[in-house]
């Protein structure tokens, strides 16, 4: 079962996909778009193209577990995504996924514009991999 991972953001949205066995996450792309209707449509199209059977969307929570502004924006995105696809959509706690992505990119000495272009895709990979690991 292939599962799509999404790190939704105000300006950029990272996309990852699992392998066919649902064991590992690989980066797909970063969507550079801020209009959530267009982002939802593109995510739905990518899910179809990659034969995903489920979508996991990272849900940003505050460190105390509450939902803040970014979490509410993510819920709005999910509602729009539901209009575009019939696939099951699961939210996954994404606290510190971007921090982990930046740490990983620092270790590979990825800097500047290149890092900005891929950090959301790497964060989507972390979100999806954490979800996949929870299934084992």
* Residue 111: C-alpha distances to residues 14, 25, 26, 91, 95 (Å): 17, 22, 20, 30, 22
Rounded to whole angstroms, the Cα distance separating 28 from 49 reads 12
Q: What is the pLDDT of residue 136?
A: 80
Other beta carbons within 10 Å of 134: 8
Q: What is the pLDDT of residue 114?
A: 58
Rounded to whole angstroms, the Cα distance separating 72 from 20 reads 31
The tokens of 132 are what? 């996949």
Type and span of the H or E element at 104: helix 97-107
Does residue 87 sit in helix, strand or coil? coil
Lowest mean pLDDT among 25-29, 59-63, 113-117: 113-117
Q: pLDDT (tens digit, 9 = 90+) per residue, 11-60? A: 999 999 999 999 999 999 999 999 999 999 999 999 999 999 999 999 98
- Which domains, from first to last, does the chain contain? 3-127 (3.30.420.140)
Q: pLDDT (tens digit, 9 = 90+) per residue, 76-85? A: 999 999 999 9
Residue 97 or 127, more confident? 127
Question: Phi and psi dihedrals of 90, rounded to 5?
Answer: -115, 135
């Amino acid at each position: 079962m292939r599962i799509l991972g999404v790190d939704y953001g105000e300006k950029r949205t990272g996309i990852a996909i699992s392998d066919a066995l649902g064991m590992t996450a690989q980066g797909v792309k970063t969507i550079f778009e801020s209009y959530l209707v267009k982002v939802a449509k593109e995510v739905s199209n990518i899910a179809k193209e990659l034969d995903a059977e489920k979508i996991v969307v990272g849900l940003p929570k505050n460190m105390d577990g509450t939902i803040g502004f970014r979490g509410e924006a993510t819920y709005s995105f999910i509602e729009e995504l539901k209009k575009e696809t019939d696939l099951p959509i699961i939210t996954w706690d994404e606290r510190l996924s971007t921090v982990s992505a930046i740490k990983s990119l620092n270790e590979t000495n990825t800097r500047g514009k290149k890092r900005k272009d891929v950090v959301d895709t790497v964060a989507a990979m972390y979100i999806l991999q954490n979800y996949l690991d929870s299934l084992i």
